[in-house]
Amino acid sequence: MSEHPISIESPRMREFGRVNWRGLWTLYQKEVRRFLNVYTQTLVAPVVTSLLFLAIFQLALGGGGRKVAGVDFSSFLVPGLIMMTMAQNAFANTSSSLVSAKVQGNIVDLLMPPLSPAEQALGLAGGGVTRGLMVGITVSLAMWVFVPYSLHAPLVSLYHAVMASLMLALLGVLGGIWAEKFDHIAAVTNFIITPFSFLSGTFYSIERLPPLGQTLAHLNPFFYMIDGFRYGFIGHSDTKVWLGMLVIAGVNLGLWLVVHWMLKTGYRLRS
Amino acid sequence: MGNVVPNPPAPREFGRLNALGCWSYFRRGLLRFWRVSWTSILGACVSSGLLLVVFMIAGREGSLAAGLSIAEFVAPGVILFASSMMAFEGGATLMLEDKIEGTIADVLMAPLSTGEMLVGMVLPPVFNAVATGLAVFGVTLIFTDFSFSAPLLSFAFLILNALFFALVGALVGLWADKWDHYGGAQAFLMLPLGFLSGAFFSLDALPQIGKVLVYLNPLFHSVDAARFGLTGYGQSSALIGAVVLISLSVLLTIVLWRLVHSGYKVRP
């Protein structure tokens, strides 16, 4: 026993302003490192899958110089496949991050730090958007080797790439908060995300659909992001470009508000 | 009162075949799949149905081969593709889950011979894959009419194909140390085998070298034979297909038997 008690200064609380930049940056980095750590599955595998899709559709339906929307079938297919892959990966990143954190119990690492709901949402979604864009760039480069393309309006494509990744990342946060185990998120992927991304004009122009199908397609936000992204490549779109940009911005705003509300109230996260 | 000394339980006796043990191991695998069958089999049905619909819309006016409609041509491919993926996934996850969670000890400690272990490792995924194939077949019936020239032949190839891919899965599950390895095998082995198999396009669309490569793919033979059984159109012969699949399955069984017998990756 020491006669002179040593005074230990209690650690001071870290101070920060209106935004906890360091906390936000840390969460974002954690989300990015999580998928970079298994890059064969998160970056390379999507490239292989999308190239295989390109191959089978080109081999099955692209014969005889077939044209869709005024361009070769393969040129039509490329932007659709890039967008589909980006969307699926952005969704997978946020949803799997939240569900595995819940299952393993390290969700407290997200809930305990002094992060506001907006910072939490931004950090999570930022990771999803980063994965979506990184996958998008890799897939674009890989496809260019097989189907050289030029860009008609790169900024329109960039806008849609970012906004679509954000939309799916936010949907993934939403799904991840709702789901209690991996089965639930697999069900959301199988029964919602895959059907929407398959049936939204990735593989065909919606002019081919019956009138009812066309009406339904126009109610589907996935249709606008694929259509707008493709416009940036081939200069043809099934609907007005500015309308698509507005719709997807509106959807993102709505999703942001829902996610923010969920994180704020602790829906399915805090007891 | 003296101490009660319980008699140690007498070891259960069985003859040359530990039928109860073998059955228990088999049932354990099957129950594990059926716990999640709602999402896995229904999920396979949804994605297969979507793939078929996408082909039908995108290629509305076309025909892929010999007067078959797109749906008739692609449907058998979709069925066998989904079933193969399920067989592989089942074979691999059954083993890998046991290894990672440590429950492999339950299997190693049980008085099971190598052959009995193989039954429990391979047959549950075969069952699951055949069930998936039949479910997806049900979905394809919504979109197309088959002529059913030899349905039993298709069914036989569904089973053979499931057996082959369950063996591949079991080997991958035995070899893999973590989920990452399994993911790699799925992305770089199974998906290329699955997609480049003539399940979705006709061999005629390929250059000569491509034809040869696809011909070496076992899935091509099962898809082709199943398509012949359902529609009467085939690009190769079912006899060659049967020889290829049976001999490859026998080969893989021998390899798996030797690995399990030697305790590869599972016994210290």
Helix (H, G, I), strand (E, B) or coil at B69: strand
Q: Who contacts A51 (Cβ-Cβ below 8 Å, separation ≥6)?
A: A142, A143, A146
pLDDT above 70 coverage of chain B, percent: 96
C-beta separation of B263 from B182 below 8 A:
no
Which is more confident, A106 or B62?
A106
User: Cβ contact (<8 Å) for B183 and A41?
Assistant: yes
Residue B228 has pLDDT above 90, yes or no: yes
Calculate how close chain B gets to A215, using CA atoms only, in Å: 16
User: Cβ contact (<8 Å) for B187 and A61?
Assistant: no
Q: Who contacts A122 (Cβ-Cβ below 8 Å, separation ≥6)?
A: A24, A28
- Which positions in chain B have a beta carbon within 8 angstroms of at least one beta carbon in chain A? 36, 39-40, 42-43, 46-47, 50-51, 53-55, 57-60, 62, 64, 74, 180, 183-184, 186-188, 191-192, 195-196, 200-202, 205-206
- CA dist., res. A139 & res. A35, Å (int): 16
Helix axes A117-146, A154-178, angle to 10 degrees: 130
Average pLDDT over every residue of B15-33: 92
- Identify the bridge partners of residue A72 per DSSP, sorted by sequence position: A67
Element (H, E) at B94: helix B70-101
Residue A1 has pLDDT above 60, yes or no: no
Handedness of CA A244, A246, A249, A254 (dihedral sign): negative
Which of B58, B192, B206 has the CB atom closest to A61's CB atom?
B58
Average pLDDT over every residue of B134-151: 94
Please report the beta strands in chain B, taking only residues with DSSP state E, as ranges in sequence order.
63-65, 68-69
Band the pLDDT of A80: cuts 50, 70, 90: very high
User: Cβ contact (<8 Å) for B195 and A63?
Assistant: no
Interface probe with B: pick from A190, A216, A223, most Cβ of B within 10 Å: A190
Which is more confident, A64 or B148?
B148
Nearest to A47 by CA among A76, A82, A80: A82
pLDDT at B245: 97
* In the block, residue with structure tokens 């109610």: A219
Residues of A in contact with B190 (CB under 8 A): none
Calculate how close chain A gets to B110, using CA atoms only, in Å: 30
A6-52 pLDDT, tens digit each? 777 778 877 888 899 999 999 999 999 999 999 989 999 999 999 99
pLDDT at B173: 96
Q: Does A63 touch chain B (CB under 8 A)?
A: yes
pLDDT at A5: 67
Helix (H, G, I), strand (E, B) or coil at A71: strand
Number of H helices, E strands in chain A: 12, 2
Average pLDDT over every residue of B151-155: 96
- Identify the bridge partners of residue A71 per DSSP, sorted by sequence position: A68
pLDDT at A68: 85
**Hey, which residues 108-167 in chain A have their CB within 8 Å of chain B?**
none
pTM of the entire structure? 0.91
Long-range pairs of B22-28 with CB within 8 A, sequence gap ≥ 24: B22/B112, B22/B116, B22/B119, B22/B120, B24/B110, B25/B107, B25/B110, B25/B112, B25/B116, B25/B117, B25/B119, B25/B120, B26/B119, B26/B120, B26/B123, B26/B124, B28/B120
pLDDT at B178: 92
Q: Who contacts B10 (Cβ-Cβ below 8 Å, separation ≥6)?
A: none
pLDDT at A39: 92
Residues of B in contact with A59 (CB under 8 A): 200-201, 205-206
Helix-strand-coil percent breakdown of chain A, rounded to 5?
75, 0, 25
Residues of B in contact with A45 (CB under 8 A): 183-184, 186-188
Residues of A in contact with B188 (CB under 8 A): 45, 48
User: Cβ contact (<8 Å) for B57 and A186?
Assistant: no
- CA dist., res. A74 & res. B90, Å (int): 34
User: Cβ contact (<8 Å) for A53 and B195?
Assistant: yes
Residues of B in contact with A56 (CB under 8 A): 195-196, 200-201
- CA dist., res. A101 & res. A120, Å (int): 14
- CA dist., res. A32 & res. A90, Å (int): 11
Residues of B in contact with A190 (CB under 8 A): 39, 42-43, 46-47
pLDDT at A15: 80
DSSP for residue A181: S
Helix axes B151-175, B114-143, angle to 10 degrees: 130
Handedness of CA A67, A71, A74, A80 (dihedral sign): negative
Residue A2 has pLDDT above 60, yes or no: no
Q: Strand B63-65 to strand B68-69: parallel, antiparallel, or no bridges (unpaired)?
A: antiparallel
Phi/psi at B64 (5° precision): -90, -35
Calculate how close chain A gets to B258, using CA atoms only, in Å: 30
Q: Give CA separation, B70 vs A64, A167, B52, B53, B54, in Å.
A: 16, 34, 9, 10, 10
Look at phi and psi of residue A201 and say left if phi exceeds 0, alpha if psi is from -120 to 50, else beta.
Answer: left
Tokens in use for B94?
């059954």
Alpha helices in B102-189 (DSSP H): 104-109, 114-143, 151-175, 179-185
User: Cβ contact (<8 Å) for B205 and A45?
Assistant: no
Calculate how close chain B gets to A191, using CA atoms only, in Å: 7
* Lowest-pLDDT range of A37-46, A58-67, A132-141, B198-207: A58-67
pLDDT at A66: 80
Residue B1 has pLDDT above 60, yes or no: no
Calculate how close chain B gets to A71, using CA atoms only, in Å: 14
pLDDT above 70 coverage of chain A, percent: 97
Helix (H, G, I), strand (E, B) or coil at B132: helix
Interface probe with A: pick from B52, B69, B195, B206, most Cβ of A within 10 Å: B195
pLDDT at A55: 93
B82-133 pLDDT, tens digit each? 999 999 999 999 999 999 999 999 889 998 999 999 999 999 999 999 999 9
Band the pLDDT of B59: cuts 50, 70, 90: confident
pLDDT at A3: 62
Distance spanning both ends of chain B, measured CA to CA: 46
Interface probe with A: pick from B38, B54, B73, most Cβ of A within 10 Å: B54
Helix-strand-coil percent breakdown of chain B, rounded to 5?
75, 0, 25
Residues of B in contact with A48 (CB under 8 A): 187-188, 191-192
The mean of the pLDDT values for chain A is: 92
Nearest to A154 by CA among A57, A264, A71, A228: A228
Nearest residue of B to residue A209, measured between CA atoms = B57
Residue A271 has pLDDT above 80, yes or no: no
pLDDT at B118: 95
User: Cβ contact (<8 Å) for B55 and A186?
Assistant: no
User: Cβ contact (<8 Å) for B201 and A195?
Assistant: no
